[in-house]
Amino acid sequence: MLSQTPKRFWIWPAVIVAGLLLLLWGLPQLLPVCAKYQLTDILIFCLVAGVIFLTAYIRHKPHLLEPWRRVLQSHRAMAAAVVLVVYVVIGLLDSIHFQEPLEGQPESVGHYSVDVPSLFDFMTRSLQEQTEKTYSAPLATHLFVKESVVLEDGTTAQQHRRLEHGGAHLADPQTDKWPDIAYTALQGLVWGLLLWSLLALLVSVWHARTAGLSPGASWRAIWRGRSRYPLNTLLVTAGILLVMLAILFTLSQKYHVFGTDKVGQDVFYLSLKSIRTGLVIGTLTTLVMLPFAILLGIMAGYFRGWIDDLIQYLYTTLNSIPGVLLIAAAILSIQVYIANHPELFDSAMDRADLRLLALCVVLGITSWTNLCRLLRGESLKLRELEYVEAARAFGVHHFTILGRHILPNVLHIVLIVVVLEFSGLVLAEAVLSYVGVGVDPSTISWGNMINGARLELAREPVVWWSLVAAFILMFALVLAANLFADAVRDAFDPRLGRIPRN
Amino acid sequence: MTLDNDTPLLEVDNLKTWFPDGDRTVRAVDGVSFTIRRGETCAILGESGCGKSITALSLMQLVPAGGRIVSGEILFHGQDLLQYSERQMRTVRGNRIAMIFQEPMTSLNPVLTTGEQIAEVLQQHLGLKGDALRQRVEALLHQVGIPDPHKRQQDYPHQLSGGMKQRIMIAMALAAEPELLIADEPTTALDVTIQAQVLDLLRELQQQHHMAMLLITHDLAVVADRADKVAVMYAGQIVELAPREQFFAEPRHPYTRKLFAAVPGRGKRRQKLEVIKGSVPTLDREFSGCRFADRCEEAWPLCRERRPAWTVLDEAGEHGVRCHRYDPDVDFVPQVVPSRGVREAGAVDQPPLSTVLQTRDLKVHFPIRKGLFKRIVGRVYAVDGIDLNLYRGRTTALVGESGCGKTTVGKALLQLIEPTAGQVDYLGQELTTLGGARLRRMRKHLQIIFQDPFASMNPRMMVGNIIEEGMLTQGVMPDEAERTRRIDQLLEQVGLSAEARQRYPHEFSGGQRQRICIARALALEPDVIVCDEPTSALDVSVQAQTLNLLKQLQQDYALSYLFITHSLSVVEYLADDIAVMYLGRIVERGPVEQLMSDPKHPYTQALLSAVPTIEKQSGREVIKLEGELPSPIDPPGGCHFHPRCPQAMAVCKQAYPGVTQLDGEREVRCYLYEEKGRGTRDE
């Protein structure tokens, strides 16, 4: 009986993770494709599995579950969480890579295309393939630059040429364009509302079942704010996002909603693809950093003496090296390594992926010191507490004390720091890529988009859309992450009392 | 403002301070009425959580966030303070009504000198400036007994000891010569000898200024010494209000009587202490009957049905009580069910003394390191040569003021702190030379119970796992089902139900947690338990439960306790032998009866006389100790006690006195007895 629940908390997450693995590896076997997961994909799936286990663990620990409940009870956090979920879903879809068989070849031969698209690419294939020649403004029907065109009468003239895809269906763009856009947007709106109604129905049925209400009563309870979690906020935020995405998506089938870049790629597609890069940097870096920070931090605080001195010297030294320089040095040496060992990599994508991973590791190594210092301070306090002394009086081993008494009591700090650092890391990627020591130039990321847009800012008229698109998507992600982090910090802060605030 | 003594200075009528919190409202103060006359001391007595501090803060209109005064009147000089605006209140606070707080460490601003902090009050309320201000500050410091006030006013709070800081707080409170002083547990954080100094100072100042005082305390003994009248609070209400003499001669309310019975002391040595069953009810509901009914042994059905009215017992209207038992309108009052009487704690036949644990010349010095290479520049002589014997089935008390090193002795005994020198011998096994796995195995036999029941359990573990930890580590009962049965049995033994196993520590009250800690220590069936102030964080009634339990367990398992405490009444109740510590050394030790009735060492004499007691004592003169415990970094030469000793001689300054054996296994280290003793032993 004793400690039954904590011992078996892993059964359900294990089943879920096994199911997901089966899906990820098994489904490609049934379909005529070949799964081709990148290194970062695998790490992301490990992270997802870790999050599933952690969630199950938290569910059995009231001291961790209660603050998370409070997080979700806050309206702001709920809205931010919905936004984050949209980003995460796109990022995850973009992390399932596969190869398709070459057309015209029988499957059994095993000839696959060299392209390694992700599930996200597959779903947005139209966006990816509808490339133009060069720049075009958002929702434009003509190229941004004039070209020499041979007219019917044989003379050449400088003209904005019609786009190959954007608005190509219009007979007369001058008159038809805006009515067509309005009509298409309306279609999108209807789709968005339909999807939202489906979601609202699901949510209210779920609420009716958990709260034991009739469907009608549950619906009213949600909108009058009487549900346990702010489901009204959830539905409103999800509604806005769904409608927005649906309109953008329907429009993007006929137009380039955010315009095209220098080589004619759709900027909407690029900025969505960048989400994965941002998330990878924000999360995998943490994964690299946590073991260092936690182990060294609590060891320094608990053992004190020479161990403490050593660890402190280590992180003070590391902190004194200018971060950007260290990152630049590491990235450049990795670049040299990659260039000298072309035989190790199958494709350009593998190389870019390794560089992304390397960036995560380097960022992780330079950013663990902060958390480590916090944990050292907290452990210094905890080691003096009487329950730690009582454990020593029982003859418990030091490392058991670390695991059983110190670690669970600093876990809330780890959670807060991880959530807070996420947004900082997403921004760091943009800055580093801009400087040129970030991700591979072939990787689609917000940093690279900004870097590419930099030179065009001097142009008259200005090519502003790449920059603005990257800015908006990054801003939304970082704002949502920060709002969420605020709610997490408040929920775990013992000084703010237990009174639920709205 | 010429008021004669009979006009009340402060009249509080039906004060209610509530803390609304969602759909539940915590009625922290729920209809409190009392009056204070000029020059009078009114004490509010109550256990933690009864609303006494909130009452005091309500008078100043400084109710903590979330609370508000919902009704009542606070008449100060006949004017209702509740009608005052915040701006008007500021002219009252600190000026006409002043307050001193419990914790002197946190009530002073650490970045301002003491002089500046007192001057601030004077500027604010009296508008003094320049030389007049400086002189007044010095006069005030002199008044509260700070030596060398001219220098001291330039000191920062961290340079002063706890007692000094409390004096500074008092000086600040008195700066504007208030008419009413509210003292919220002014001496709880201080040692007995310092407590005596501060209480005396308060009384002197009160007489000089003819000031009224509202003294808030949980300590019956402090009340016995100082108060003119006593109000007992329980669950947000005053249940009894009486002049001191009547209060101590004839307490009426069942709760008050229980409180008296729960106080440990020498007279109750062979008995179990009275305990009040259950715990204070939560205040977030309407009460339909008496608030004490569920815990009262004398309650009858009416007590649960009707709220008791305030009944005045004497003609002067001074003694009142809130109990149906004394209400003339209640027709039927059942006879008091004779309580099960004094339960004998069982026949006590002293077994022959057999030593379980003994220390020889135990020393713990903490090095002070400085500089780049951590050179040792000095030592803290926390424990400086201690000989102790713990006998099977007996309790040895280690008594001393805070900072004398008594907790360090306890930890060094268990090898939680490595001793610098000396031996610790457990049944013939030398512990100081053990290390690693062998020491871990020995830890099974020696356990510890801590002072703070809140910090001594990992908040992230369930009670079952907490108790189990030692068993798992020591490999006792590897079978899970058997272990679970044992944990249930332990929990029942300490008076908790087996379902506690699946709960977390924060769900329990302080007393319950302390019992879980006892269960945890017992799980390994140790021979020796070091009890480090196990009851000092608990209320009187809860303390009684814990002491009873410890005594019972000792009888059942022949445990040896090393009982570290500063509370002499607990010592008198529980201990068999006493060792008195002063600055890292034991100055006197012996059996409890002899030592308490006839202390030899001047320090012991002063310590005993400083303890306030409930029984009105006559002829026992209070020996006032000057100054405070010196620093163990640089102890005074010769006898450590000589700078404070009223009987110091020339020889005391030269060398530390050796051990003098007195009659009946008593030992004392003092030159006063060297030649009288039967034999002296050299240092």
Instruction: Examine the pLDDT at A419 and tell me if it is beyond 70.
Output: yes
Instruction: Examine the pLDDT at A123 and tell me if it is beyond 80.
Output: yes
- Domains of chain B by residue range: 8-96+180-252+271-326, 111-175, 355-681
* Residue B444 with chain A: CB contacts under 8 Å: 395
Residue position matching structure tokens 């709960």:
B503
Contact between B473 and A396 using a beta-carbon 8 Å cutoff? yes
DSSP letter assigned to residue A404: I
Contact between B469 and A394 using a beta-carbon 8 Å cutoff? yes
Please, what is the average pLDDT of chain A?
85
Structural domains of chain A sorted by starting position, each given as residue range(s) with its CATH number in brackets? 4-101+266-496 (1.10.3720.10), 167-254 (no CATH)
> Looking at the partner chain, which of B411, B450, B480 has a beta carbon nearest the beta carbon of A2?
B480
Helix (H, G, I), strand (E, B) or coil at B367: strand
B353, B391 in Cβ contact below 8 A?
yes
**CA angle, corner B89, sides to B53 and B131, nearest 5?**
100
Contact between A63 and B504 using a beta-carbon 8 Å cutoff? yes
Structure confidence at residue A77 (pLDDT): 92
> Looking at the partner chain, which of B439, B456, B480 has a beta carbon nearest the beta carbon of A390?
B456
B154, B115 in Cβ contact below 8 A?
yes
Sign of CA dihedral B159, B163, B166, B168: negative
Structure confidence at residue B193 (pLDDT): 80
Distance from CA of B121 to the nearest CA of A (A): 30
Q: Count residue pairs from A and B with Cβ separation < 8 A.
A: 80
Distance from the first to the final alpha carbon of chain A: 39
Q: pLDDT-based confidence at A500, cuts 50/70/90?
A: very low
Q: Is B301 exposed, middle or buried (0-12, 13-18, 19+ CB in 10 A)?
A: exposed
Fold of B355-681: Rossmann fold (3.40.50)
Which of A15, A16, A46 lies closest to A283 in space, CA to CA? A46
Locate A148 and state its tokens: 């020499």
Locate B91 and state its tokens: 């002219």
Q: pLDDT-based confidence at B1, cuts 50/70/90?
A: very low
Q: What share of chain A is helix, strand, coil (3-state, %, to 5)?
A: 70, 5, 25
> Looking at the partner chain, which of A3, A386, A409 has a beta carbon nearest the beta carbon of B452?
A386
- Is B8-96+180-252+271-326's fold the same as B355-681's? yes
Give the residue from chain A lying closest to B410, CA to CA. A393
Contact between B458 and A389 using a beta-carbon 8 Å cutoff? no
CA A71 remoteness from chain centre: 20
A63, B459 in Cβ contact below 8 A?
yes
Tell whether B483 is within 8 A of chain A (Cβ).
yes
Tell whether B486 is within 8 A of chain A (Cβ).
no
Q: Measure the CA–CA gap between B504 and B252, rounded to whole angstroms.
A: 39
Helix (H, G, I), strand (E, B) or coil at B426: strand
Q: Measure the CA–CA gap between B207 and B213, rounded to whole angstroms.
A: 11
Question: Cβ atoms within 10 A of the Cβ of A105, count?
Answer: 12
Contacts of residue B138, Cβ cutoff 8 Å, sequence gap at least 6: B149, B150, B153
Q: pLDDT-based confidence at A26, cuts 50/70/90?
A: confident
Tell whether B290 is within 8 A of chain A (Cβ).
no
Structure confidence at residue B655 (pLDDT): 87
Which of B44, B40, B9 lies closest to B241 in space, CA to CA? B44
Contact between B443 and A393 using a beta-carbon 8 Å cutoff? yes
> Looking at the partner chain, which of A392, A397, A405 has a beta carbon nearest the beta carbon of B416?
A392
Locate A43 and state its tokens: 């790490």
Tell whether B459 is within 8 A of chain A (Cβ).
yes
Give the residue from chain A lying closest to B372, CA to CA. A309
The number of C-alpha atoms within 13 Å of B530 and in the hemisphere containing its C-beta is 26
Give the residue from chain A lying closest to B468, CA to CA. A2
Q: Measure the CA–CA gap between B656 and B634, rounded to whole angstroms.
A: 14
Q: Measure the CA–CA gap between A324 and A432, rounded to whole angstroms.
A: 8
Q: What is the mean pLDDT of residues B513-537?
A: 90
Q: What is the mean pLDDT of residues A297-317?
A: 92
Locate B613 and state its tokens: 């007691």
Q: Measure the CA–CA gap between A68 and A85, rounded to whole angstroms.
A: 16
Q: Measure the CA–CA gap between A21 and A111, rounded to whole angstroms.
A: 25
Q: Measure the CA–CA gap between A369 and A373, rounded to whole angstroms.
A: 6
Question: Cβ atoms within 10 A of the Cβ of B370, count?
Answer: 10
Q: Measure the CA–CA gap between B71 and B79, rounded to whole angstroms.
A: 16
**Which residues of chain A approach chain B closer than 8 Å at the C-beta?**
1-3, 61-63, 385-387, 389-397, 400, 404-405, 408-409, 499-500
Tell whether B22 is within 8 A of chain A (Cβ).
yes
Helix (H, G, I), strand (E, B) or coil at A124: coil
Contact between B451 and A387 using a beta-carbon 8 Å cutoff? no
Instruction: Examine the pLDDT at B362 and tell me if it is beyond 50.
Output: yes
Which residues sit opposite A260 in a β-bridge? A136, A266
Structure confidence at residue B477 (pLDDT): 84
Instruction: Examine the pLDDT at B455 and tell me if it is beyond 80.
Output: yes
Contact between B455 and A61 using a beta-carbon 8 Å cutoff? no
Instruction: Examine the pLDDT at A294 and tell me if it is beyond 60.
Output: yes
Structure confidence at residue A495 (pLDDT): 55
DSSP letter assigned to residue B631: P
* Residue A405 with chain B: CB contacts under 8 Å: 458
Distance from CA of A377 to the nearest CA of B (A): 18
> Looking at the partner chain, which of B21, B450, B460 has a beta carbon nearest the beta carbon of A390?
B450
Contacts of residue B538, Cβ cutoff 8 Å, sequence gap at least 6: B453, B510, B511, B514, B546
Contact between A395 and B441 using a beta-carbon 8 Å cutoff? yes
CA A460 remoteness from chain centre: 35
pLDDT tens-digit readout, B3-44: 455 678 999 999 999 988 777 788 889 889 999 998 899 999
Percent of the residues in chain A that have a pLDDT greater than 90, as a whole number: 26
- The architecture (CATH level 2) of B8-96+180-252+271-326 comes to 3-Layer(aba) Sandwich (3.40)
Instruction: Examine the pLDDT at A498 and tell me if it is beyond 70.
Output: no
* Residue B501 with chain A: CB contacts under 8 Å: 2
* Residue B461 with chain A: CB contacts under 8 Å: 404, 408
> Looking at the partner chain, which of B66, B458, B468 has a beta carbon nearest the beta carbon of A2?
B468
Cis peptide before A461 (omega within 30 of 0): yes
Distance from CA of A115 to the nearest CA of B (A): 51
Contact between B458 and A409 using a beta-carbon 8 Å cutoff? yes
* Residue B446 with chain A: CB contacts under 8 Å: 393
B336, B372 in Cβ contact below 8 A?
no
Which residues sit opposite A118 in a β-bridge? A97
Q: What is the mean pLDDT of residues B49-77?
A: 88
Instruction: Examine the pLDDT at B359 and tell me if it is beyond 70.
Output: yes
B259, B316 in Cβ contact below 8 A?
no
Q: Measure the CA–CA gap between B638 and B654, rounded to whole angstroms.
A: 5
Measured between alpha carbons, how far is residue A269 from residues A94, A260, A467, B648 in Å?
12, 9, 14, 92
> Looking at the partner chain, which of B411, B451, B458 has a beta carbon nearest the beta carbon of A387?
B458
Q: pLDDT-based confidence at B588, cuts 50/70/90?
A: very high
A409, B459 in Cβ contact below 8 A?
yes
> Looking at the partner chain, which of B439, B456, B483 has a beta carbon nearest the beta carbon of A387?
B456
* Residue B460 with chain A: CB contacts under 8 Å: 61, 63, 408-409
Please, what is the average pLDDT of chain B?
85
Q: pLDDT-based confidence at A61, cuts 50/70/90?
A: confident
CA B502 remoteness from chain centre: 32
Q: pLDDT-based confidence at B2, cuts 50/70/90?
A: very low
Q: Could you write out the DSSP letters of every residue in A249-272?
A: HHHHHHS-TT-B-TT--BHHHHHH
Distance from CA of A484 to the nearest CA of B (A): 25
- In terms of phi and psi (left: phi > 0; alpha: psi -120 to 50; beta: otherwise), the region of B317 is left
* Residue B524 with chain A: CB contacts under 8 Å: 394
Contact between B451 and A395 using a beta-carbon 8 Å cutoff? no
Q: What is the mean pLDDT of residues A491-497?
A: 63
Contact between A395 and B474 using a beta-carbon 8 Å cutoff? yes
Structure confidence at residue B353 (pLDDT): 81
Distance from CA of A97 to the nearest CA of B (A): 41
Amino acid, res. B398 = L
Sign of CA dihedral B235, B238, B244, B247: negative
Give the residue from chain B lying closest to A389, CA to CA. B416
> Looking at the partner chain, which of B21, B411, B440 has a beta carbon nearest the beta carbon of A395?
B440
Q: H or E segment at A388?
A: helix A386-393
* Residue B533 with chain A: CB contacts under 8 Å: none
Q: H or E segment at A338?
A: helix A323-340
Structure confidence at residue A1 (pLDDT): 36
> Which site among A389, A407, A412, A413 would you substitute to test the B interface, given the most B Cβ atoms closer than 10 Å to its Cβ?
A389
Q: Measure the CA–CA gap between B581 and B590, rounded to whole angstroms.
A: 12
Tell whether B413 is within 8 A of chain A (Cβ).
no
DSSP letter assigned to residue B251: -
Distance from CA of B466 to the nearest CA of A (A): 9
B106, B157 in Cβ contact below 8 A?
no
Distance from the first to the final alpha carbon of chain B: 65
Tell whether B489 is within 8 A of chain A (Cβ).
no
> Looking at the partner chain, which of A1, A394, A405 has a beta carbon nearest the beta carbon of B473?
A394
Locate B157 and state its tokens: 């709070």
Q: What share of chain B is helix, strand, coil (3-state, %, to 5)?
A: 35, 25, 40
Q: What is the mean pLDDT of residues B112-130?
A: 88
Distance from CA of B271 to the nearest CA of A (A): 31
Q: Measure the CA–CA gap between B622 and B611, rounded to whole angstroms.
A: 9
Weakest-pLDDT range from A163-177, A278-292, A308-322, B415-429: A163-177
Structure confidence at residue B339 (pLDDT): 53
Which of B371, B242, B363 lies closest to B312 in space, CA to CA? B242
B581, B398 in Cβ contact below 8 A?
yes
Instruction: Examine the pLDDT at B547 and tell me if it is beyond 70.
Output: yes
Q: Measure the CA–CA gap between B368 and B675, rounded to whole angstroms.
A: 39
> Which site among A394, A397, A413 would you substitute to test the B interface, given the most B Cβ atoms closer than 10 Å to its Cβ?
A394
Distance from CA of A304 to the nearest CA of B (A): 14
Q: What is the mean pLDDT of residues B525-545?
A: 87
Q: Measure the CA–CA gap between A5 and A58, rounded to whole angstroms.
A: 12
Q: Measure the CA–CA gap between B83 and B77, rounded to whole angstroms.
A: 13
